[in-house]
């Protein structure tokens, strides 16, 4: 029964099953005496959106460029779509789409012409007009690439990476320097790719981007993976202390709080109360029971879980160089 | 083989070239402007060169050499360096397109532009200055021009390995080429130069392209194979350097 259920139920993203889109074992990269990457193990499942986070200099770009076949590893085993990137040929590149961290439009070509040029590189390209529509550049199809805005250029980059109808797409900091509107537009494009069943390997410096888009996140620091998990659970985020804050009415002092809260509540000079707790429900029950009984409504009551950014900063702190 | 893909690449490279004002001016227009100026000013007198040729007749082959160098070497170095620094070459290499297709497509573009400029120079020479053209010379001129253009493309790829930024490309190629134009019979007839300078010039490829073209234009002499041999030798040297050093990725690297 279980076996049949496993075979027919769609596999939740991030669960190993079938051939991994990306498989990394003991990856190491050394530049002279500098060890940029020190033994990475990772698996990315087909159809997954995987976010790869880490501070500058942590080995992120090195790892991504090894996966893309632009750099050569010094240690370990790597398989991307079942192929060693060091031996990746045209047939392999036919199945990949790569959005580089920094690349300008093709000079002297319009959006449509650039896509026509790149479509010619692939065995089974997508339709040019359809791809233009997918990145919402319809109105700019006849505009020269260099006349596009920053956000539009990046969308053209994404379109160029999609024109070959790839199974796996690398997005290296796709929204760096975007205004909020442009970022939302780019996210919608990525979500459209998820709907098409593409596997996406994303690097970003924006935690909200990773949280919104990624099925799983890996954090790299000083050349090692320091945390791996879903946006909700990475770095034991779901188990970490929550923070309850509220303002104590002006006529009350700490001594007026219920007995169970007195010891754990920190009060600042302005009457702002903070409770750090791993069992927020218990403290909230005590607090609300007390407040209702005393006819207080605590209008600025707030309960906050640690954000992904809190967890990320803690994971990467003091790990600049292991 | 992927000849259709080479033509595909060349078609878009050519379109991009034609949209570039600077490239258009220096490659297509400047040789014709120089022809008109040189003939009007009478550089080197009414008749020039060893055979006391009409100055217009003399300058058409000389400026043809300049046009080929501009289209194949100058324009290629500048555009390739800019495309490399902008990540354009790297992005193309992220696709299945083979490297040789990109190189062949770009070279074919340069050859087409070279031949187009040559045709315009000849047309202006014929209609404005009454230069007589013998149809029999066309294959010789074409062979010399194509070999010269291909050789200078390879040299362009070789030089681009020594230039780090797109900004440095323009001054660098002009600094290399201007003196060579002067001593190679492009601007000033070689016979007016001191012997030692002619020896210096004959070590470099520009002189052999100019010499090869001036003979190819004359029905009496045809293709000068020794000039083409020197050009090919330079190209072979350039190819070795390009194969060992050419980079598709921007010079700035991050980890």
* pLDDT in the model for residue A5: 39
Record: contact A118-B95, CB cut-off 8 A: yes
pLDDT computed for residue A268 by the predictor: 87
Q: Give the model confidence (pLDDT) of A52-100 as tens digits.
A: 999 988 999 999 999 999 999 999 999 999 999 999 999 999 999 999 9
In a domain, A212, yes or no: yes
Q: Which residue of B has its CA nearest to A64?
A: B255
Does the beta-carbon distance from B16 to A102 stay under 8 Å?
Answer: no
- Residue in chain B lying closest to A146 (CA): B86
Q: Mean of the per-residue pLDDT values for chain B?
A: 89
In a domain, A162, yes or no: yes
Q: Are residues A156 and A256 in the same domain?
A: no
Of the pLDDT bands very low, low, confident and very high (cuts 50, 70, 90), residue B53 is low
Do residue A107 and residue B9 have CB atoms under 8 angstroms apart? no
User: In terms of domains, do A197 and A254 share one?
Assistant: no
Same domain for A178 and A247, yes or no, is no
> A246 and A208 in one domain?
no
Do A107 and A202 share a domain, yes or no?
Answer: yes
- State the pLDDT confidence band at A181, using cuts at 50, 70 and 90: confident
The nearest CA of chain A is from the CA of B250 a distance in Å of 10
What is this structure's pTM?
Answer: 0.85
What is the reported pLDDT for A153? 92
What average pLDDT does range B30-51 have in this prediction? 75
Task: Give domain status of residue A222, yes or no.
Answer: yes
| pLDDT reading at B190 higher than 80 | no
Beta bridge partners of A172: A203
Tens-place pLDDT, residues A270-315: 888 999 888 889 999 999 999 999 888 888 999 988 888 888 888 8
Identify the residue among B96, B100, B248 best suited for mutation to test binding to A, counting A beta carbons within 10 A and taking the highest.
Answer: B96
Least confident of A223-227, A268-272, A273-277, B171-175: A268-272
Mean local confidence (pLDDT), A91-111: 94
Please check whether residue B170 touches A, CB under 8 A: no
**Between B54 and A147, whose confidence is greater?**
A147
**Does the residue A10 lie in any domain?**
no
> pLDDT at position A212, please?
93
A200 and A262 belong to one structural domain:
no
pLDDT digits over A31-40, tens only?
Answer: 999 999 999 9
Task: Give yes or no: residues A115 and A136 share one domain.
Answer: yes
> What local confidence, expressed as pLDDT, does residue A127 receive?
97
Q: How many domains does chain A have?
A: 2
The mean of the pLDDT values for chain A is 88
User: What range does the domain containing A146 cover?
Assistant: 47-65+90-235
Residues of A in contact with B21 (CB under 8 A): none
Q: What is the mean pLDDT of residues A223-249?
A: 89
pLDDT the model gives residue A9: 40
Cα gap A183→A151, rounded to integer Å: 8
Q: Cα(B150)–Cα(B232) distance, rounded to whole angstroms?
A: 9
Both A58 and A119 in a single domain?
yes
My answer on whether A193 and A61 are in the same domain is yes
Query: Does A54 share its domain with A194?
Result: yes
Mark whether A163 and A202 lie in a shared domain: yes
According to the model, what pLDDT value does residue A56 have? 87
Pair (A124, A140) in one structural domain: yes
What pLDDT, on a 0 to 100 scale, did the predictor assign at position A12? 47
- B88 touches A: beta carbon within 8 Å: yes
């Amino acid at each position: 029964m279980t076996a049949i259920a496993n075979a027919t139920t769609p596999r939740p993203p991030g669960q190993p099953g079938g051939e991994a889109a990306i498989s990394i074992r003991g990856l190491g990269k050394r530049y002279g005496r500098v060890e940029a990457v020190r033994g990475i193990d990772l698996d990315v499942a087909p159809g997954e959106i995987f976010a790869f986070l880490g501070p500058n200099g942590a080995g992120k770009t090195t790892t991504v460029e090894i996966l893309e076949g632009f750099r050569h590893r010094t240690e370990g085993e790597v398989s991307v779509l079942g192929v060693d990137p060091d031996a990746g040929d045209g047939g392999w590149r036919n199945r990949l789409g790569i959005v580089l961290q920094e690349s300008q439009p093709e000079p002297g070509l319009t959006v449509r012409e650039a896509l026509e040029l790149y479509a010619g590189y692939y065995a089974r390209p997508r339709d040019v007009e359809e791809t233009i529509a997918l990145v919402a550049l319809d109105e700019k199809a006849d505009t020269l690439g260099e006349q596009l805005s920053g956000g539009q250029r990046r969308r053209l980059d994404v379109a160029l990476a999609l024109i070959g109808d790839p199974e796996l797409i690398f997005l290296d900091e796709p929204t760096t320097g975007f205004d909020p509107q442009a970022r939302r537009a780019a996210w919608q494009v990525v979500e459209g790719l998820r709907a098409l069943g593409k596997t996406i390997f994303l690097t970003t410096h924006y935690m909200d981007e990773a949280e919104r888009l990624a099925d799983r996140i890996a954090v790299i620091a000083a050349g090692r993976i320091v945390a791996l998990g879903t946006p909700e659970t990475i770095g034991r985020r779901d188990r970490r202390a929550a923070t309850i804050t509220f303002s104590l009415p002006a006529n009350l002092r700490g001594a007026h709080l219920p007995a169970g809260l007195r010891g754990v509540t920190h009060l600042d000079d302005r009457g702002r109360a903070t409770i750090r707790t791993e069992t927020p429900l218990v403290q909230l029950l005590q607090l609300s029971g007390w407040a209702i009984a005393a006819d207080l409504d605590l209008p600025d009551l707030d309960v906050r879980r640690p954000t992904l950014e809190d967890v990320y900063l803690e994971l990467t702190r003091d790990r600049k160089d292991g | 083989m992927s000849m259709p893909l080479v033509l595909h690449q060349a078609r878009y490279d050519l379109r991009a070239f034609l949209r570039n004002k600077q490239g258009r001016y220096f490659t297509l227009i400047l040789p014709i402007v120089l022809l008109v100026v040189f003939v009007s000013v009478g550089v080197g007198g009414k008749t020039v060169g060893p055979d006391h040729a009409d100055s217009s007749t003399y300058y058409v082959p000389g400026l043809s050499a300049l046009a080929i160098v501009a289209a194949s070497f100058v324009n290629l170095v500048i555009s390739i360096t800019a495309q490399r620094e902008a990540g354009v070459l790297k992005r193309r290499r992220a696709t299945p397109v083979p490297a040789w297709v990109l190189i062949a497509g770009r070279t074919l573009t340069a050859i087409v532009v070279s031949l187009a400029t040559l045709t315009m120079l000849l047309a202006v020479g014929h209609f404005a200055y009454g230069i007589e053209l013998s149809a029999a010379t066309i294959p010789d001129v074409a062979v010399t021009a194509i070999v010269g253009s291909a050789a200078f493309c390879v040299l362009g790829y070789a030089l681009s390995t020594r230039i780090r930024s797109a900004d440095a490309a323009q001054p660098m190629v002009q600094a290399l080429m201007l003196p060579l134009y002067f001593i190679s019979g492009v601007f000033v007839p070689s016979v007016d130069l001191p012997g030692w300078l002619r020896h210096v010039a004959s070590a470099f490829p520009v002189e052999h392209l100019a010499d090869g073209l001036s003979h190819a234009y004359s029905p009496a002499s045809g293709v000068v194979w020794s000039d083409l041999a020197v050009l090919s030798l330079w190209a072979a040297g350039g190819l070795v350097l390009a194969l060992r050093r050419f980079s598709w990725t921007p010079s700035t690297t991050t980890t």
